[in-house]
Structure 1
Amino acid sequence: MSEDSFRSVEIERSSVGQYVVRNVRGGSLSMGTGGDDSFTPVELLLAALGGCTAVDVDYVTSRRAEPTGFRVEVTGDKIKDETGGNRMRNLRVAFTVTFPEGEGGDKAREALPRSLRQSHDRLCTVSRTVELGTPVTVVDTTAADAD
């Protein structure tokens, strides 16, 4: 794997059920179990799904015209499946994007459906990873850290 392809975040416990997520650029956000205003892991998954396509769509359409409204609603149902495990289903990413009247706005409106399809079909790493069902490996490195 090249340095250009590697991505990571670090999660540090701040108290029971409360964590701080940090990226390599120094950004941080609170994550928790839903007992306060911190984002839950499922909410962050939903945000990643919508945010990934939002970035793609925004870059394509805003070159034509600055949107007058740009809203993404991401929803899904958290269920316990037949194996007894939790998962999400019925994931939906709904865009409501408006542009000003005029030639630029017309071009942006015309580009919107194609940019949504391109993001979903090939550009958005997050939704493509979820849809393809990429395996996740969980490891305990505690003993390695003790040395």
Structure 2
Amino acid sequence: MSDDTERSVELTRTGPSRYRATNVRGTTLEIGDGSTDDFTPVELLLVALAGCTAITVDPLVSRRAEPTTFDVHTRADKIRDELGNHLVDLLMRFDVAFPEGEAGERARALLPDAIHKAETRLCTVSRTLALGVEAEVQIDDV
């Protein structure tokens, strides 16, 4: 990726309530309204939150020990109130396991701090959401 700060995707309608997103590298993703198997925009927001945090945290802990499991479960409730439609109660639950031994223990000990750093300064998606939405993080199997 260049030093350019711009990030962009193109969205093209492919049918009623169906779209194809294309990134600058030519990769595509189908998006829909939930009436098909395509990802919805809200699901993509949850993917972006989990993906950005995982991509930020993974190299920090993996250099201590390779995880045997690294799953991030992200969920939220979609509501409609006086503020309009929006998500509340965002939760990222990390299910991460490391091998037994000293290296695994070091990685396990680092995981909460790595997630905290991602949330507070490193992950662009969570930082952007934090400006207007607070996301709760839960760590499982550490």
- What is the one-letter code of the residue matched to 2:76? G
- In the alignment, the residues of structure 2 paired with residue 133 and residue 70 of structure 1 have an alpha-carbon distance, to the nearest angstrom, of 28
- In the alignment, the residues of structure 2 paired with residue 133 and residue 4 of structure 1 have an alpha-carbon distance, to the nearest angstrom, of 25
- Please say if 1:4 is aligned against 2:27: no
Q: How does 1:1-147 map to 2 (within 5 A)?
A: 4-83=4-83, 85-133=84-132
- In the alignment, the residues of structure 2 paired with residue 81 and residue 122 of structure 1 have an alpha-carbon distance, to the nearest angstrom, of 30
What TM-score do the two structures reach when normalised by structure 2? 0.88
- In the alignment, the residues of structure 2 paired with residue 79 and residue 96 of structure 1 have an alpha-carbon distance, to the nearest angstrom, of 27
- In the alignment, the residues of structure 1 paired with residue 129 and residue 110 of structure 2 have an alpha-carbon distance, to the nearest angstrom, of 25
Offset of residue 103 of structure 1: 1.8
**Bigger relative contact order, structure 1 or 2, given CA contacts below 8 A and separation 6+?**
2
Segments of 4+ moved more than 6 angstroms: none
The match for 2:136 is none
Which secondary structure state, in structure 2, belongs to the residue aligned with residue 56 of structure 1?
A: helix
Residue segments in structure 2 that go unaligned for 5+ positions in a row = 134-142
Offset of residue 62 of structure 1: 0.8
- In the alignment, the residues of structure 1 paired with residue 59 and residue 20 of structure 2 have an alpha-carbon distance, to the nearest angstrom, of 29
Residue segments in structure 1 that go unaligned for 5+ positions in a row = 135-147
Deviation readout 1:13-36 (Å, 9 max, x if unpaired): 100011111100111111000111
- In the alignment, the residues of structure 2 paired with residue 3 and residue 87 of structure 1 have an alpha-carbon distance, to the nearest angstrom, of 33
- In the alignment, the residues of structure 1 paired with residue 4 and residue 105 of structure 2 have an alpha-carbon distance, to the nearest angstrom, of 36
The match for 1:141 is none
Offset of residue 3 of structure 1: 5.5
Which secondary structure state, in structure 1, belongs to the residue aligned with residue 114 of structure 2?
A: helix
Identical amino acids, percent of aligned pairs: 54
Which secondary structure state, in structure 1, belongs to the residue aligned with residue 86 of structure 2?
A: strand
What TM-score do the two structures reach when normalised by structure 1? 0.85
More strand by share: 2
- What is the one-letter code of the residue matched to 1:113? P
